[in-house]
Amino acid sequence: MNTKFVILGCGSSVGVPRIDGHWGKCDKNNKKNIRTRCSAAIIKGSNVILIDTSPDIKGQLIKNKIKNISSVIYTHKHADQTNGLFEIRPFYWKYKKRINIYSDLSTINYLKKTQSYLFKKIPDYKPIVKPHVIKSNFSLGKLNEKIDFKSIIVKHGRINSLGYIFNKTAYLSDCKDLSIIHLNELKNLNFLILDCLKIKSHPTHFNLREALQVINQLKPKKTILTNLHYDLDYKFLLRKLPKNVLPAYDGLSINI
Ligand SMILES: [Zn+2]
């Protein structure tokens, strides 16, 4: 069965344009420069797995005509990955079942603390999510719709973030340093979706130079750069990047 991977959002934490209409170096006439915050979807038949729920998740699902979700896996606790959790309430109403969410213990504990009303019963409102702490290997979905995952821990400044590997594809949306993982785990990839925040160096994300170094080292068949800030114009990147490296855009979909 065919598995589809969709970039729902590929922008940095503020998106492009910024809330005050600032486009930075991005050409506002190119629709590929309109970037919502980072989220993605893996779709295999009726098995629809979201990676992160960005603050833009509602618009992202509507735009991509994703009408059902099966589960959510989180990379880390930051607001641009988790602030859309509240938006998935209609799926709970629809299925009359709590939505399964998965991450490491620290992210799950953080979400329980900061959005506690989604996890435990409060007067007049029922909990809508069911949290699960993942192991390094896990699978989601049933029978021929099942997807096998391997999670890896990467450094994202002062915190760790999870990267996910599935179908010879790795999603590493927020990382600065891969030194704590065995790089062999990221060899022989068909697709690498990789953090590339900006041109200048940043304490918690790869910049363009660092992302290209990683690609050189890992040699995936194809790389898609994501978490793009407003100093990285789509066409500028397209001209600058090697042939097998592409800038992401919202709605980009690949068969994996
Ligand atoms: Zn982050």
End-to-end alpha carbon distance in the chain: 11
Distance 78 CA to ligand 1 centre (A): 5
Distance 109 CA to ligand 1 centre (A): 16
Distance 252 CA to ligand 1 centre (A): 21
Q: What is the pLDDT along the chain (256 residues), one digit of tens a residue?
A: 999 999 999 999 999 999 999 999 999 999 999 999 999 999 999 999 999 999 999 999 999 999 999 999 999 999 999 999 999 999 999 999 999 999 999 999 999 999 999 999 999 899 999 999 999 999 999 999 999 999 999 999 999 999 999 999 999 999 998 877 778 899 999 999 999 999 999 999 999 999 999 999 999 999 999 999 999 999 999 999 999 999 999 999 999 9
Distance 188 CA to ligand 1 centre (A): 26
Distance 174 CA to ligand 1 centre (A): 6
Distance 104 CA to ligand 1 centre (A): 15
Give, in words, the CATH class of 4-255. Answer: alpha beta
Distance 32 CA to ligand 1 centre (A): 22
Distance 156 CA to ligand 1 centre (A): 7
| Domain ranges for the chain | 4-255
pTM as predicted: 0.97
> CA torsion 174→176→178→179, rounded to 10°?
-150
Distance 125 CA to ligand 1 centre (A): 30
Distance 120 CA to ligand 1 centre (A): 26
Contact 162, 153 (CB under 8 A): yes
Q: Return the pLDDT at 44.
A: 98
The DSSP string of 7-27 is: EEE-B-TT-BS-TTS--TTS-
Give which of 190, 134, 141 is closest to 162, Cα–Cα. Answer: 134
Distance 53 CA to ligand 1 centre (A): 12
